[in-house]
Amino acid sequence: MKSVRFFALTVMALAVAAAFGGWVYEGQWGRLGSGDGEFNFPWGVAVAPGGDVYVTEHFGRRVQCFTSTGYFLGKWTAPWPASSVQGVAVAANGNVYVTSGDAQYEAYVGYFTSAGSLLGTWQVRGRVPGAAFGVGVTPAGTVYVAEARDERVSRYTSSGSMLGSWGAKADGLALAPNGNVYVTGWWAQNRVYYYTPTGSLLGSWGSKGSGNGQFDEAHGLAVAPNGYVYVADRYNNRIQYFTPTGSFLGKWGIRGGGEGEFYAPWDVRVSADGKRVYVVESGNHRVQYFRWSDPFVSPASLGRVKALLR
């Protein structure tokens, strides 16, 4: 009797997943090391408009570039003093913005060509060293930087002239299609905050825990073209996603090293067409990517499945 009930519950779970769709594992690349396509604590991930993927390494102090499915294209090392490399974002013109800095060294933002040639750099001059973490670039070229240790988000021109700032406890940062700014991180006390482009607080959600909409050190986050917000829930070893105002939509992942499993997911990004989600894991030193599986069970057929299991 128990086996029949288990089978019925399994069929029901599969039917529900099929009815509503979900993110499914598609591929991965990377392992611990210093070679091409290997990582030493990958920190940030960004997807270029054309689909190429950029990954930063916290301890490796470099940026690597790949095709959308992980074929190695190139790399470069940070030009600043011996500090870590952290956030990464790609502008509409293909330029790559990278943040650097830690507790012992000053923080910098640099921008490069898609192949890694340095175009310019500026120093983030906050109250304490090592302030620059998450970074995002608007279609018009405005650069937003999460300066975690200074507890602020700053806006710059594409070449580094400051436009303004506001107080925010955050290290992860993502920009929505409508211009709103989302931040989170261990400094944000397991919450997601979102603001207007000039820093007026619009709302927030989250708390510490393992339930839906709760986080155990939320770190990186991304906003998809449809406005949905994806959060790397680091110590819960999962990705959660929400409506633009924080209503829980879904999640996936458990701790492990297998396909679709995570060990300390650190950052997340969505492709420009919204069809892929990329996740970097600091614990497994790799990138995994997922595709959306559309529902293939109609409400009517789902009803028939339920009837069969009564």
Q: State the chain's mean pLDDT as an integer.
A: 87
pLDDT of res. 60:
86
Model confidence pLDDT, tens digit, residues 29-43: 999 999 999 999 999
Alpha-carbon dihedral angle through residues 48, 49, 50, 51, given to the nearest 10 degrees: 50
Q: What is the rounded average pLDDT of the residues 265-284?
A: 96
Q: What residue spans define the domains of the chain? A: 22-293
Assess whether pLDDT exceeds 70 at residue 103.
no
CB 63 within 8 A of CB 76: yes
In the predicted structure, residue 8 carries a pLDDT above the cut 50: no
Q: For 22-293, which CATH superfamily applies?
A: TolB, C-terminal domain (2.120.10.30)
Is residue 3's pLDDT more than 70?
no
DSSP for the chain, written as a single string: -HHHHHHHHHHHHHHHHHHH-EEEEEEEE--BSSSTT-BSSEEEEEE-TTS-EEEEETTT-EEEEE-TT--EEEEEE--SSS--EEEEEE-TTS-EEEEEEETTEEEEEEEE-TT--EEEEEEE--SSS--EEEEEE-TT--EEEEEGGGTEEEEE-TTS-EEEEEE---SEEEE-TTS-EEEESGGGTS-EEEE-TT--EEEEE--BSSSTT-BSSEEEEEE-TTS-EEEEETTTTEEEEE-TT--EEEEE--BSSSTT-BSSEEEEEE-TTSSEEEEEETTTTEEEEEEEE---S-HHHHHHHHHHT-
Q: What is the mean pLDDT of residues 231-236?
A: 96
Using the predicted structure, report yes or no on whether residue 298 has a pLDDT greater than 60. no
Question: Residue 196 pLDDT > 90, yes or no?
Answer: yes
